[in-house]
Amino acid sequence: MLFRHRTPRLEFRPPTRGEELIRFEHLRKSFGPKRVFDDLQLSVYAGETLTVIGGSGTGKSVLLKCLIGLLRPDAGRILFQGQEITGYREEDFIDVRRHVAMVFQGAALFDSLTVGENIAYPLREHFPSMSAEELRGRVAEKLKLVDLPGIEDMRPADLSGGMKKRVGLARAIATDPEVILWDEPTTGLDPVTTETINQMIRSMQKKLGCTSIVVTHDMMSAFSVSDRIAMLANRSIVQVGTPEEMRASTLPEVRAFLDARRQELEPGAEVAP
Ligand SMILES: Nc1ncnc2c1ncn2[C@@H]1O[C@H](COP(=O)(O)OP(=O)(O)OP(=O)(O)O)[C@@H](O)[C@H]1O
């Protein structure tokens, strides 16, 4: 494969906690006549869990996809450790995706492969010379990290929704990424499994020191896992703050969004007319 013998374009160095790891600068993106981002700005700091909230179709997933090169912005820059990655070719994004891994909404496991083979897949891609023994060791270690030890030989079809999400996470962290992108991690899960996934997000930060960017509709989850929350509205990030700052926000876009979800956050509360 093309990327196997290339010199990585991204010059990665282990981040220092709190340094600016990712910066979206003056981002613009349209699909045909539909403008999704206009001058969007956002910084993400090493070690934090940042959640992006916003109404349906405001571009939360598009933002994550621009970061790993699955979509390209029309204008503006994306910087990773100060290096501009916006103009990278497809093969250069492979280096970015080793350090920034996405946990897809539907887990996106290969049904024809076992759980172990699914997790080994990115390892084979990024480390083609890794021995079979080391591969097995890494797979076992990642399964342990997501509290599913020993299920290497199971098939995705035999797993519950929550287990699939955790195997998807084990696969995402196989290459020891510094940044984990979570696309709607708790959508469609029951409350108990949702809490397990919330704990996983927090434990990746605690155990591995990972930086997480979470995209979610689930405000309980956003308030429970985030160090900071960023609100996407009007084609841009309109406010970023701690969960407390966002709860106390007087910005009309944030207020309208949170008030509409008040019942979700405070069961029994009356929703403002
Ligand atoms: N590949 C694409 N081609 C054309 N339009 C797209 C593409 N990807 C996203 N869009 C459009 O961009 C807008 C933002 O999409 P996105 O999926 O990022 O929204 P979202 O905020 O994640 O929404 P939701 O919360 O409903 O998942 C939508 O109008 C969507 O239809």
User: Of 38, 58, 231, which is best to mutate to test ligand 1, by the most ligand atoms within 8 angstroms of its C-beta?
Assistant: 58
Report yes or no: 189 and 197 within 8 Å, Cβ to Cβ. yes
pLDDT at site 107: 67
pLDDT of residue 267: 62
Which residue minimizes the CA distance to atom 30 of ligand 1?
57
Residue 143: alpha-carbon gap to chain centroid: 19
Q: Name the range with the highest mean pLDDT among 5-14, 242-251, 263-272.
A: 242-251
**Using 50, 70 and 90 to split pLDDT, how confident is the model at 233?**
very high
Distance CA 55, CA 216 (A): 10
Could you tell me what percent of the chain has a pLDDT over 90? 62
Ligand 1, atom 19, lies closest to the CA of: 57
pLDDT at 242 over 50: yes
Contact predicate 181/102, CB 8 Å: yes
Query: Which residues, in sequence order, are CB contacts of 261 under 8 Å at separation 6+?
Result: 219
- Ligand 1 center from residue 210 Cα (angstroms): 26
| pLDDT tier at 218, thresholds 50, 70, 90 | confident
**Residue nearest atom 14 in ligand 1 by C-alpha distance:** 59
Question: Hunting for tokens 């689930």 — which residue is that?
Answer: 218
Q: Which ligand 1 atom sits closest to the C-alpha of 215?
A: 22
Residue 2 has pLDDT above 70, yes or no: no
> Is the minimum distance from the CB of 40 to ligand 1 under 6 angstroms?
no
Say how many Å lie between the CA of residue 129 and the centre of ligand 1. 38
At 120, the pLDDT band (50, 70, 90 cuts) reads: very high
56 lines ligand 1 (CB under 6 A): yes
Whether pLDDT at 269 is above 60: no
Of 24, 29, 30, 31, the one to substitute when testing ligand 1's pocket (max ligand atoms within 8 A of C-beta) is 31
Q: What does the pLDDT read at residue 273?
A: 46
List CB contacts of 180: < 8 A, sequence separation 6 or more.
101, 102, 103, 169, 172, 173, 204, 210, 211, 212, 213
Considering only CA atoms, which residue is closest to atom 23 of ligand 1? Answer: 57
Whether residue 1 is predicted with pLDDT greater than 50 in this model: the reply is no
Which positions ≥6 away from 59 have C-beta within 8 Å?
29, 36, 37, 232, 235
Q: Percent of the chain at pLDDT above 70? A: 92
Sequence-distant (6+) residues with CB within 8 A of 169 are 103, 146, 180, 200, 204
pLDDT of the residue at 49: 97
Looking at every residue in the chain, the average pLDDT score rounds to 89
Atom of ligand 1 nearest to the CA of 232: 21
pTM for this entry: 0.90
ipTM: 0.97
- pLDDT tens digit string along 54-106? 999 999 999 999 999 999 999 999 999 999 999 898 888 988 998 999 887 76
Beta-carbon contacts of 98 under 8 Å, excluding residues fewer than 6 positions away, are 126, 175, 177
pLDDT tens for each residue of 127-172: 889 999 999 999 999 999 888 999 999 999 999 888 888 899 899 8
Q: Is the pLDDT of residue 3 over 60?
A: no
| Confidence check: pLDDT of 4 > 80 | no
The secondary structure of residue 70, as a DSSP letter, is S
CA 69–ligand 1 middle distance (angstroms): 15
